[in-house]
């Protein structure tokens, strides 16, 4: 009978399970493996670890809820509703202060920026007042002149802004013209209590 010494082309799974069984049996001191006792010990460890993990997670949850409520209580005064008198005192005029700082600059580029910033504020004001449109021009067309005394000033200021935006640096902006344009925007903002 001829013997072949070539490679093995099959996998003996039983052999590997037997090796695993013998290894576990040797770890237990050579005694045969009692599978039920081993499984019960593993299950007991799983239960103990699960209980400890649950207690830890419960403690973290309780701590998080308490901290969340403390943070809400600390932040409550910041979100309290103000009456109109207090709201006017606390109104932030930093945007208009930025426009004023730009217009007082000796640089023409800052004057241009001041006019553009003032027009953005006009756009926000028109949106707050509920006028429809996607641009300042569309919103100004929707304004009722009877309810907007400075409508003509808003149009004049917006026309200068459009010249700056469309002509770029080729539009020559004189200092007195820049100051006059900001004064137009200022009259609109003052009429509606924005500054």
Q: What is the pLDDT of residues 2-19, one digit of tens each?
A: 555 666 566 677 877 777
Which DSSP state fits 150? T
Specify the length of the chain in residues.
Answer: 195
Tokens of 170: 């080729």
pTM of structure = 0.54
Element (H, E) at 123: helix 108-128
Q: Are 24 and 30 in contact (CB under 8 A)?
A: no
Which DSSP state fits 104? T
Instruction: Give pLDDT, residue 50.
Output: 93
Task: Please work out, in degrees rounded to the nearest 5, the angle formed at the alpha carbon of residue 177 by the alpha carbons of 171 and 181.
Answer: 100
Q: What is the pLDDT of residues 137-153, one digit of tens each?
A: 999 999 988 888 899 99
Residue 160: band (very low, low, confident or very high) from pLDDT cuts 50, 70, 90: very high
Res. 91: pLDDT tops 70? no
Q: Are 164 and 98 in contact (CB under 8 A)?
A: no
């Amino acid at each position: 009978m001829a013997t072949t010494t070539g490679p093995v082309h099959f996998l003996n799974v039983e052999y590997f399970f037997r090796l695993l069984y013998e290894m576990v049996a040797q770890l237990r001191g050579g005694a045969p493996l009692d599978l039920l006792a081993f499984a019960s010990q593993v299950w007991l460890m799983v239960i103990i670890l699960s209980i400890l993990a649950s207690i830890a997670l419960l403690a973290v949850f309780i701590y998080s809820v308490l901290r969340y409520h403390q943070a809400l209580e600390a932040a409550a005064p910041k979100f309290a509703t103000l009456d109109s008198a207090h709201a006017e005192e606390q109104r932030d005029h930093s945007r208009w202060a930025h426009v004023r700082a730009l217009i007082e600059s000796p640089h023409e580029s800052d004057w241009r920026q001041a006019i553009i910033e003032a027009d953005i504020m006009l756009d926000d004001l028109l949106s707050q007042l509920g006028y429809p449109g996607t641009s300042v021009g569309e919103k100004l067309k929707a304004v009722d002149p009877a309810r907007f005394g400075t409508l003509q000033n808003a149009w004049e200021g917006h026309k200068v802004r459009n010249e700056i935006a469309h002509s770029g640096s080729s539009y020559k902006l004189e200092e007195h013209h820049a100051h006059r344009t900001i004064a137009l925007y200022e009259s609109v903002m003052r009429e509606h209590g924005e500054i």
